[in-house]
Amino acid sequence: MSDIEISEVEENRIEIPKSLYEPLSKKLVAVVLDAKVHDSIPSDMAKRIIYLWRQDALATETGITTLMEAATLVNPEGTYTILSEIGAGRLAVSH
């Protein structure tokens, strides 16, 4: 993921209300787990996701950022669809 794409993810994460972190994290985990090409996720990112899961921290700012990065790598269209559904449509339109 390029620096521009990462900054877009981080910028739009701020627009997501914390009350949506839990349902969003579950949807993003599903995108990542349902991916056909898991090689698209760097090993350090996969380790970070596992660590956050073990710490019950996937529904935090760090967790959402990490999951959005991973989901965007494996299924950008699905990720943007989910973000549009929760009202973060600006990201879906701008990408």
The pTM of the full predicted model, rounded to 2 decimals, is 0.76
In whole angstroms, what is the distance from residue 57 CA to residue 40 CA? 23
**Region label for 35, one of left (φ > 0), alpha (ψ between -120 and 50) or beta (otherwise):** beta
* Tens-digit pLDDT profile for residues 9-56: 555 545 788 889 999 999 999 999 988 776 789 999 999 999 999 999
The answer to whether residue 80 scores a pLDDT higher than 80 is yes
| pLDDT band per the 50, 70, 90 thresholds, residue 88 | low
What residue ranges do the domains of the chain occupy? 1-9+38-95
Q: How far is CA 95 from CA 29, 38, 88, 91, in A?
A: 21, 22, 12, 6
Q: Tens of pLDDT along 53-74?
A: 999 999 999 999 999 999 999 9
User: What span, in angstroms and rounded, lies between the C-alpha atoms of 51 and 60?
Assistant: 13
